[in-house]
Structures are given as structure tokens and as C-alpha cells.
Structure 1
Amino acid sequence: MEFCPHGTKLECSKMRSKVPCKKLHFKKIIQKHTDESLGDCSFLNTCFHMDTCKYVHYEVDGPTVQFPKESFSKIESVETKTLGRTNQDTTILYPAQWVQCDLRYLDMTVLGKFAVIMADPPWDIHMELPYGTMSDDEMRQLGIPTLQDDGLIFLWVTGRAMELGRDCLKLWGYERVDEIIWVKTNQLQRIIRTGRTGHWLNHGKEHCLVSMTPLP
């Protein structure tokens, strides 16, 4: 279902005629410590301190969307098997696989070749983060070229690393063909403008560089 642009049912009723709105609405979560005069919490449902935060938070007003049972039966009927194909050359849905290691020291040649690579590396953004990051030189030295002879790579980059990402792709032997910009919205379907790191639009969007191996 689609969310109503007016937010709450109260605001919707003020803006609309007597025709009932069939879209989803939000309602305020008012607790003993909530001070409505402060307005909405910048972090909304991602707030880590909702039990003490004095700003206004929201939840969906009414029951969530109920999907028909037949839609789940189709999902359950999908067969998952180990790597390989059947005798009829039918495409098999593989189970998720991953390797937990330090990429700086992994011999990527053991992984084989891939037609599509999606990479969201831990760029060094000069901030204290809860996970380890890689320096610019370590990024450049990643063995990405060994993973692909012909195909596409989707490389997510941070604001500081956009030019570095382009340099890495060129160094790895790729040609940039496009760029995807994901404009993020919050719980209320509004553009994110938290400014939690001092930059109002720093968390409002993400960039993905799309590149491909050059034709022979």
C-alpha cells in the first residue's frame, strides 16, 4: 500500500474532503516524557533512545498490510539446491554464501569468476566507526581484476570516496558507464536531513558507480 503524503489521519482529514483516504497513515507515539513542542525526532524509528527521547516518534496507524497466502506458497515452492545445474539445464536458486576474512590478505583467485560484482567496501571517511576501514592505497590494491574477465561492477562510494572510487575502477581496468543515486527517505517518507555529522545532506543519498570491463 501507498503512504498518505499528509502523514497522520488528523492532517489528512484537514486537507481532504469527506472522501475517505485509503492510504496508510502514521500516528504519534506519545509517552510520559514526550514533549510535542520539540517536534519530530530527527532519527524517528532509528532512534536509539526512544525510551527516553523527548521528541515525537511515529508508528503505522492501523493494521499492517496482509498479503494473500498464495503469494507465500509461490515463494515456498522455489527449490533451493547446492551449486550446479540439473540435467535439463534449469536455473537453480543457490543458498547464500559468504567468506568472513580480511580482504587485504585474501587470495581472490580462489573465488573464481563472476559476471556481476556488487561492492560496498569500508571506505575510510575520517570518522570513528564501529567497524574497521581500509586506507585509500589498500582499496587500490584489492584484487578485483582477478574476479572478472567480462561483466559489470556496481561500486558503492561515500561522499569523500567518489573520486577515489572512479580512480580505483580505472586502475582495475573498468570503464564507467553510469551512476546510480539512491535518495533515501525516512520513516515518514521524507528526505533525510539529520545532519548527525555536521553535514545536512551527508546521509540523504548514496552513490553507486556502474562500470564494465572494456570490450576486446
Structure 2
Amino acid sequence: MRFQAFALCMILGLVGLAVVTAAQEKDMETVSPALGLRAEGLIIARCSVCHSADLIAQQRLPRARWEATVEKMEHWGAEISNDEADLLVRYLSARYHPGAPDQLLPLDSELRKAEPLTQEPVAEGPLTGVAARGAGIFEHNCQACHGAMAIGGMGPKLVKTPILKQEDLFWETVLHGRGAMPAWGSVLSPQDIADIFAWLSTK
């Protein structure tokens, strides 16, 4: 009798694992390398404002738990669109599922180079920033650290600072990070960065 119960538990466990694996594979099929980078950028931009990305990487949750977690983030004020929330759930479910190994390798650096983050054509020549648009992009992405109107907060103030006279350094910092500031190249498009720079330059 005990053996039959044990065998039944094993069968149910294997069926459950198969369902989880199938769901994980379905999620992974919808997350290309470029979208994976986009999701990682969102984690840095939206989630690590309150807690470290390492804390997220330690989790091993089924899809339903990730859905509840992202929904809770939105309830607590995380500024993410519906499309961004859907991408986060798919990516987190595919990468940090219960069957994932304890130590995960970072996304392959070659894949980062192989596929563009967007399908937009690369602009020819220098970009012209639109200050009015930059104000909204800054509020949505940068204000949490650099404060309202870029007057400073957890991060340094940006208005009337020397970096605005060194546009190349500004771009390098935003794209690749500097010190405690993470890289935003996988979150912001070149036009977004140009718009933010244009807006900051008017302050």
C-alpha cells in the first residue's frame, strides 16, 4: 500500500514537472536574446530601485508566483507598462523557474551583439534631441534616482553640471554605466538619450 502511494506521488510529481517544463519552454520561445536584454534592463531600471537585482536572481518561482510578484510591484508604484509587465513575467518565468540551477550564467555576450534591441533603423548622423519628449522620458526612467527636475536624490543632481558640457561622457555614462549607476543601453534608445540630454541642457 505504501509502495503504491509512493509510486502515485512520483507519477504526479513527474507530471507536474513536465507541465512546469512545458510552460517554461513556451515562455523561453517567446523571449529572444534581444528581449532578454530588454527584460534585464527593465529589472535594473524598475526593480532595483527598491531591491538588488541579485535578490531577484536568487528566486526560483513558478509563473503564477512571478505574475503575482510583478502585479505587486505595479501596486506598489513600479512604473511599468502592460507590455513591460508581460515581458518581465515571461522572462522571469523562463529564466528563474523552480527547476533552474542555483548558479545561472549571464546571457551570452555574443548574443548581445548578434541581435539589435529594436528593429528601428540606425539613424545617420548626429541625433537631434527633443527636449519636450526628454522631460517625460527622464521622469519615467531617471527621476527615481536623480530626483524631480534632476535636482538630485539617491543619485547626483544633473542640472547645471559639468557632464552636460561633455556630451560624449554623458552618452558613455548612460549607455554603459559609471560607478553606482547601471548601464541603460538596453533600456533607452539612442533617441531617448538624445531627448534626455536636450531636456537637461535647457535647465
Higher helix share: 2
Q: Scaled by the length of structure 2, what TM-score is found?
A: 0.18
Q: Which has the larger radius of gyration?
A: 1
TM-score (norm 1): 0.18
Q: Which has the higher strand share?
A: 1
Q: Higher relative contact order at CA 8 Å, sep ≥6: structure 1 or structure 2? A: 2
